[in-house]
Structure 1
Amino acid sequence: MHKPALPQDETDTFGDQIRIVLVETSHSGNIGAVARAMKNMGLGNLWLVNPSSFPDEASYARSAGASDVLDKATVVASLDEAIADCVVVMGTSARGRKVPWPVIPPPDAAEKASEAAAGGSVAMVFGRENHGLSNDELQRCHYHIHIPSNPDYSSLNLAMAVQVMCYELRMHHLRGLEGGEESPYLKPMTKPGDEGWDVPPAPVSDVEGFFGHLEQVLVDVNFHRRENPRQLMIRLRRLFQRARLDQMEINILRGVLTAVQKAVGATGMGSKSEADKKAAKQEDGHV
């Protein structure tokens, strides 16, 4: 039995305006893998031109929960049937042509497809696993899409090629939403203070307290000499400031330093600040 369909995102990327068209696919498992790639990126309109075998268990098994895309797939006998009502047709091609044809990379293809979809159906056509689309089929396309893969090994698996295009369509869609690059889907989260980070950034006072504590520990273990400091603390300061520590990380590091001092029998830094008290808690596992 094939896996049941997973819940579809409530906001599909383009509804059914953009259709993925597979021409004479030889291996039905690839059809299932394409369905999965499509659903990952919010597309669900799949057309199959004269597939060797469909539907079958292999296609549903490879779809990994995207069986609903396969259930509503449209099977036709020819490419002409698949694109008859489309306003724009794009075909993937890795080969150069004797007669130059408009060729665009995936991001530009996604932009043009999105614009054209406002006026009608757009087809993105993918050829056979072994030799792609024929010259005659490519001449039915308004644009050729070239995925700039490694020229020494340029052949992409069918589902991989579809995934590249579906990803570009998805990204173009997300950038066009209200908020654009501020969308939580697109905003990076790389440091404390970014939306989604679990702990606030450490204030300067706590960071400075850590540097003082670190220097004292390095003295305690005879690794650092204040009378001949060279550039040790400068470089360590640069290292830790580059890390943009958060409050919890500062507390953990202070706890580690305190444990080192206890292990070597050092007396520490005298009176405890609030940061020192937080650091002491780390030894008890209160992380």
Structure 2
Amino acid sequence: MLNNVRVVLVNTSHPGNIGGAARAMKNMGLHELVLVDPVRFPDPEANSRASGADDVLQQARIVGMLEEAIEDCVLVLGTSARDRRIPWPVLDPREAADEVLDRLEAAETGPIAIVFGREDSGLTSEELQRCQYHVHIPSMPDFSSLNLGAAVQVLAYELRMQSLQRAGAPTKMHKVETTALPNEIPATAGELEQYFQHLEQVLVEIGFHDPQKPRQLMPRLRRLYGRIQVNRMEMNILRGILTETQKAIGVKASGARRR
């Protein structure tokens, strides 16, 4: 769906910012870049800052005027950090992402452009008037100007997050241990029971637990561990801690400690 989203950079003065924008785009699944009258491009610094997004730079189209970059677009959003004299529909990045995806899901046939202005002055009033919506990133009022690559990253990130959510795709990756996958299997009830026996034994040995005056200690610990799903790797770690604790206090190995 995001293949129909076009990033337009107007009169960019520093090629490194073009590379940074290309990197931000590729990170979030955007690929169409149009450059309006760039000061320096192509340039090795753009490729250096792209950090692997060279294909986005190679496919970038260069035009002389903003009108050429957006003439086939069904929706144009212009980014702006400043208040303008003429009232205009203003969206924050999340609202902008919703608007873009709503249009794309409605099967609009043409591309949608998100336009970013010059590093020092942004888009002119005339350029902003060619956009149906203005997008304002709610940065601090006393330091509102973002680096161009960072601004592209913010909009591209919101687009990707919203598109993943609408597709029912996960928006975060489960952290996988670097060890073998079998270690991710949850500990069995039997393994947990052996652990609780081992744990109770060690707590008695170090004087923390008195079986004659239990104070509901073990049921409370069982409830604590019941709130999490311990896997086999974690169980091995916990049993190892208990074993090393017994070694430190000079207790010989017992059957309750066998893994």
Shorter chain as normaliser: what TM range? 0.7 to 0.9
Measured after TM superposition, the shift of residue 234 of structure 1 is 5.6
Aligned to 1:47: 34
Residue 247 (structure 1) aligned to one of 232, 242, 247: 232
SS in 2 for 1:113: helix
- Aligned equivalents of 2:245, 2:152: Cα separation in 1: 55
Q: Distance in 2 between matches of 1:206 and 1:148?
A: 52
The equivalent position to 2:202 in structure 1, one of 213, 217, 222, is 217
**What's the % identity of the aligned pairs?**
52
| Cα distance change of structure 1 residues 188 and 46 upon mapping to structure 2, 3 Å threshold | closer
Q: Alignment partner for residue 14 of structure 1, among 2, 12, 28?
A: 2
Q: What is the match of residue 282 of structure 1? A: none
What is the rounded CA distance, in whole Å, between the counterparts of 1:154 and 1:215 in structure 2? Answer: 58
The structure 2 residue matched to 1:57, chosen from 37, 44, 53, is 44
TM-score by length of 2: 0.85
Q: Given residue 100 of structure 1, which amino acid in structure 2 is its aligned partner?
A: P
Q: Distance in 2 between matches of 1:47 and 1:99?
A: 27
* 2:73 matches 1:86: yes
The one-letter code sitting in structure 2 at the alignment partner of 1:131 is S
Report the residue type matching 2:47 in the other structure: Y
SS at structure 1 position matched to 2:9: strand
Structure 2 CA distance for partners of 1:151 and 1:211, relative to 1, 3 Å = farther
Q: Hey, what does 1:122 align to over in structure 2?
A: 112
Larger helix percent:
2
Moved more, 213-222 or 250-259: 250-259
Please tell me the residue identity of whatever aligns with 1:62: R
Distance 1:207 1:152 in 2: 56
User: Using a 3 Å threshold, how does the CA distance of structure 1 residues 198 and 94 change in structure 2: closer, same or farther?
Assistant: farther
Alignment partners' CA distance in 2, 1:218 and 1:198: 27
Q: Identify which of 122, 141, 147 aligns with 2:131.
A: 141
CA contact 1:191–1:244 (8 Å) conserved in 2: no
- Give how far 1:227 is off: 3.5
Q: In structure 2, what is the Cα distance between the partners aligned to 1:47 and 1:154?
A: 25
Equivalent position to 1:265, from 237, 250, 254? 250
Please tell me whether the aligned partners of residues 189 and 197 of structure 1 are also in contact (alpha carbons under 8 angstroms). Answer: no
Shift in alpha-carbon separation, 1:24–1:231, aligned structure 2, 3 A:
farther
Q: CA deviation at 1:152?
A: 4.1
CA RMSD between the two structures: 2.7
| Distance (whole Å) between structure 2 residues aligned to residue 171 and residue 60 of structure 1 | 26
Q: Deviations over 1:120-170 (max 9, x none)?
A: 111100011112112221111101112222334322111011011112222
Which of 156, 159, 183 is 2:146 aligned to?
A: 156
Question: Aligned to 2:46, what secondary structure does the other structure show?
Answer: helix
Alignment-mate amino acid for residue 150 of structure 2? M
Counterpart for residue 159 of structure 2: 169
Unaligned runs of 5+ in 1: 1-12, 279-287
Shift of 1:268: 6.1
Q: Tell whether the 8 Å contact from 1:18 to 1:124 is kept in structure 2 after alignment.
A: yes
Moved more, 148-157 or 23-32: 148-157
Distance 1:155 1:198, change over 3 A: farther
Q: Which whole-Å CA distance do the structure 1 matches of 2:176 and 2:192 have between them?
A: 15
SS at match of 1:21: strand
Secondary structure of the structure 2 residue equivalent to 1:75: strand
Instruction: Write the deviation string for residues 192-240 of structure 1: whole angstroms up to 9, x where unpaired.
Output: 9xxx895112233432332232121021022333344446546644544
- Cα 1:241–1:31, aligned 2, differ >3 Å: closer, same or farther? same
| Contiguous gaps of at least 5 residues in structure 2 | none
Counterparts of 1:149 and 1:243 in 2: how far apart (Å)?
Answer: 39
Q: CA deviation at 1:189?
A: 2.8
Describe the SS at the equivalent of 1:266.
coil
Q: Does residue 37 of structure 2 align to residue 37 of structure 1? A: no
Aligned to 1:71: 58
